[in-house]
Amino acid sequence: MRTQLSNSIKGAMFALLVSPFIANAQTKVTNLRPYDQTGINVFETPKDTNAIFENVKVNFGAGFTQSFQGLKHENDANNLYKITPGFNTANANLFMDVQLADGIRLNLTSYLSSRHHNETWVKGGYIQFDKLPFKGQIWEDIMKVTTIKVGHMEINYGDQHFRRSDGGQTIYNPFVENYIMDAFATEIGGEVYVAKNGLFGMLGVSNGLIKGNIDSILVVRDANGVITDDSQHKSPSIYGKVGYDTRLNENLRIRVAGSYYHNNSAGKNGNTLYGGDRTGSNYFMVVEPAGSAVTYASNAFSGRFNPGFTKQIDALQLNGFVKAYGLEFFGTYEFAKGRSNAELDKRDATQIAVEGVYRFGKSENLFVGARYNTVKAELAGLTKDVEVNRYSFGAGWFLTKNILLKAEYTNQEYKNFTDAIRKGAKFDGYVIQAVVGF
């Protein structure tokens, strides 16, 4: 009885504390990409400078994904992890967006459950300024075309990250998995956007690391104690994007964008542009070794390829997007060059991805699509470039704008690898996902 009374008092106190926020949550926070179907094909966040600010408003959102996987894999050595059809670990995200002031918004995103971490932890957060709290016409004129983001956030390199699956938030992706070479990272920094009449540009600077770091770096010396690496310092990452996004009419939209990312010398833990996803792949345990030490969490990035450019990296991504009525085309060309701390020579990696999606039905609530994705890269010690090729076919049905059922058939092959796991490796099969986003 005492426990029940204590819980009742705690519940009443909690309700009193959150009731003002719940009331405010009924009002939409401005300049926010929706987390449901209406957020599809939204790239940089929309900008509305005419919104009226009344008081602090808090919105909560979420993304949930449950998968059923029926994949099979093989390689030359027949030493892969044994897999059978079954349900994968459910993924869940929690979003909190706060309208702090007129034109100033705060975002905090947390992963409630994921393959790589089954405990709750924070992805990142940032403050976005679409207006500045300074008086004067000059500031109003500047901020009509300018947006500023500052925080520990998903960096805006390339356009493909706007279409990828991120933990439980998979509603934007018409397919199940992300690119083979998955460019995605959360870093501490700031971005400045300028956009007018369809033209846009962005310049960003970050710490170049997945988290804060004040550690000294490892100095590489030869047997005589001479420093052999000429980049023994920590450098920030500098990146940018330019493009054009326009609607020629109600039924035709065209967008082209180019992004560049540079880091001359990452810190102790290394740059993670191609290894920054802390939730894990949506293809569970494919092309992973057998053994008791192999787990879903420790082998979280099955089916992906990380070129390992952790010390120095230069990356270029070009994207094209066209939507005519219900037909949608999205293409990516990516070239990256870099090395790890243990290497002296730089290596190359190239990625191409092409996908077509046709959306139809009431409010485009049905879709079918196909994607081809290929990566070719140099690996240290190999004389021949390795290749990873994947093609996927997907289909989906939005029961409501918040509920999606989608399925994918995929086939992926590895070529020219010499290690015991990826030599002659391939996998294929299906994945079905039930998704909620709001």
* DSSP H/E element including 154: strand 146-154
Any idea what the CATH number is for the domain that residue 165 is in?
Answer: 2.40.160
Question: What would the DSSP string read from start to end of 358-404?
Answer: EEESGGG-EEEEEEEEEEEE--TT-SS-EEEEEEEEEEEEEEETTEE
Q: Are 357 and 236 in contact (CB under 8 A)?
A: no
Assess if residue 429 is contained within a domain: no
> With contact defined as beta carbons under 8 Å apart, do 106 and 133 qualify?
no
Query: Tokens for 158?
Result: 């390339």
Tell me the β-bridge partners of 358: 327, 368
pLDDT of residue 3: 39
Q: How far is it, in rounded angstroms, from Cα 266 to Cα 233?
A: 8
Tally of domains in the chain: 1
Is residue 78 included in any domain, yes or no?
no
**Residue keyed to tokens 């995605």:** 184
Task: Answer for the pair 389, 415: CB distance below 8 angstroms, yes or no.
Answer: yes
108 occurs within a structural domain: no
Give domain status of residue 435, yes or no.
Answer: no
Element housing 143 (H / E): helix 137-143
151 CB neighbour count, 10 Å cutoff: 19
Separation between Cα atoms, residue 163 and residue 319, nearest integer Å:
12
Kindly state whether residue 201 falls inside one of the protein's structural domains: yes
Pairing of strands 199-206, 186-196: antiparallel
Tell me 362's DSSP state: G
The answer to whether position 41 is within a domain reads no
- What is the H or E stretch that residue 82 is in? none
Q: What whole-number distance in Å separates Cα of residue 235 and Cα of residue 136? A: 36
Q: What is the pLDDT of residues 54-83, one digit of tens each?
A: 899 999 999 999 999 999 999 999 999 999
Cα(34)–Cα(37) distance, rounded to whole angstroms?
8
Total count of residues recorded for the chain: 438
Sign of CA dihedral 419, 421, 424, 426: negative
Report the b/e string of 410-427 with b at 16+ CB within 10 A: bebebbbbeeebbeebbb
Instruction: Render pLDDT for 305-336 as a digit per residue (tens, 0 to 9).
Output: 999 999 999 999 999 999 999 999 999 999 99
Is residue 23 assigned to a domain? no
Domain that holds residue 382: 134-399
| Alpha carbon of residue 287 to chain centroid | 22
Answer whether residue 284 is part of any domain.
yes
pTM metric for this prediction? 0.90
Full pLDDT tens readout for the chain, 438 residues: 333 334 444 343 334 344 444 434 444 799 999 999 999 999 999 998 888 888 999 999 999 999 999 999 999 999 999 999 999 999 999 999 999 999 999 999 999 999 988 789 999 999 999 999 998 999 999 999 999 999 999 999 999 999 999 999 999 999 999 999 999 999 999 999 999 999 999 999 999 999 888 877 766 666 776 666 666 678 999 999 999 999 999 999 999 999 999 999 987 779 999 999 999 999 999 999 998 899 999 999 999 999 999 999 999 999 999 999 999 999 999 999 999 988 989 999 999 999 999 999 989 999 999 999 999 999 998 999 999 999 999 999 999 999 999 999 999 999 999 999 999 999 999 999 999 999
